[in-house]
Amino acid sequence: RKAIERFCNEVKRLCHAERRKDFVSEAYLLTLGKFINMFAVLDELKNMKCSVKNDHSAYKRAAQFLRKMADPQSIQESQNLSMFLANHNRITQCLHQQLEVIPGYEELLADIVNICVDYYENKMYLTPSEKHMLLKVMGFGLYLMDGNVSNIYKLDAKKRINLSKIDKFFRWRIPPKKRYFHDGGRPLRRVRLGMRNASGIPGFLLPHLKRSCSIACSN
């Protein structure tokens, strides 16, 4: 929660009416993109690691047995943690909700997505993890920009983002799998159409998230 608040405060500072014309360096935009990547990977790690929920359940049983959770504050904290672990994609949902109340946040996210598109298109990365990070930031950037306040189609019409170019990245770089798609064509289009209706992680990002999470677990 503190990390999301810190990120949103930084976005709010950069999106302020008096700061919108200020120059923001590529390195700073990439740093903000790495934060978005971190939130996405942490959320997926929480979703896929059943051991975290099992450990918390074992802790609650032991605490109740030892009567260490008698005070209301401890009970409330335990209930909050249980709800956090039970709700999938809770981190990205909270991030999306807090960003939507910031005026002009989609313009900053568009800059972040565009710098990732430029780096990916020109192969300005050294390791596979950096390559996957750029793809994830593109996808989650679109997810965060698309909602009740902002619309990625309108941003595409204004030429703030290039959806067709991003579509090509995910269409040709990621082989379609039946686990994530119903058919083999236009994966990004289906994800974009479902962004407003589903609160889950965009399906075309799952291969990259699974890979990142497996690396994180092995380390």
- pTM (global) more than 0.75: no
Note whether 204 and 191 are within 8 A (CB): yes
* Domains held by the chain: number: 1
Tell me: the pLDDT tens digits for 164-212? Answer: 888 888 775 544 444 433 444 444 443 444 444 444 445 545 555 555 5
Rounded alpha-carbon distances, angstroms, from residue 70 to 61, 75, 80, 81: 13, 7, 16, 17
Show the domain range for 157: 2-218
In 3-state terms the chain splits into helix, strand, coil percentages (rounded to 5) of: 70, 0, 30
Provide the 3-class DSSP secondary structure of residue 120: helix
Note whether 91 and 5 are within 8 A (CB): no
Low-confidence ranges of the chain (pLDDT < 50): 174-201, 204, 215-217, 219
Q: In the numeric block, which tokens belong to residue 206?
A: 């799952």
